[in-house]
Amino acid sequence: MRADAARNLDAILQTAARLLAEDPGTSLTAIAAEAGVSRHVVYRRFENREALRDAVFHTKLDAVDVVLGDARLDSAPVAVALHRFVEGIIAVDRYYPIGPDQMRCNDEEHGRMVEQREHVATFMRRAMDERLIRSDLPDGIVHALLYQIIALLARQLRDDDPARTADIVVDTFLRGVRLN
Q: What is the CATH number of the domain that holds 30?
A: 1.10.10
CB 15 within 8 A of CB 95: no
Residue 35's pLDDT is 96
Q: Is residue 180 part of a domain?
A: no
* Statement to judge: residues 20 and 62 lie in one domain: no
Residue 180's pLDDT is 60
How would you write the pLDDT of the chain (180 residues) with one tens digit per residue?
A: 688 888 999 999 999 999 999 998 999 999 999 999 999 999 999 999 989 998 999 999 999 999 999 999 999 999 999 999 999 999 999 999 887 777 666 778 888 988 999 999 999 999 999 999 999 989 889 989 999 999 999 888 877 889 999 999 999 999 987 776
CB 149 within 8 A of CB 173: yes
Q: Is residue 115 part of a domain?
A: yes
* Statement to judge: residues 148 and 72 lie in one domain: yes
* Domain containing residue 19: 1-47
Number of folded domains that form the chain: 2
Residue 5's pLDDT is 84
* Statement to judge: residues 63 and 42 lie in one domain: no
Residue 1's pLDDT is 66
Give the CATH number, domain containing residue 156: 1.10.357.10
Tell me how far apart the alpha carbons of residues 173 and 127 are, in angstroms, rounded to a whole number. Answer: 12
Tell me how far apart the alpha carbons of residues 52 and 69 are, in angstroms, rounded to a whole number. Answer: 26
* Statement to judge: residues 80 and 139 lie in one domain: yes
Sign of CA dihedral 32, 67, 90, 50: positive
Residue 3's pLDDT is 86
Residue 171's pLDDT is 94
Element (H, E) at 44: helix 39-45
Residue 109's pLDDT is 82
* Statement to judge: residues 85 and 111 lie in one domain: yes
pTM for the model stands at 0.88
Q: Is residue 72 part of a domain?
A: yes
Helix or strand or coil: residue 161?
coil
* Statement to judge: residues 22 and 106 lie in one domain: no
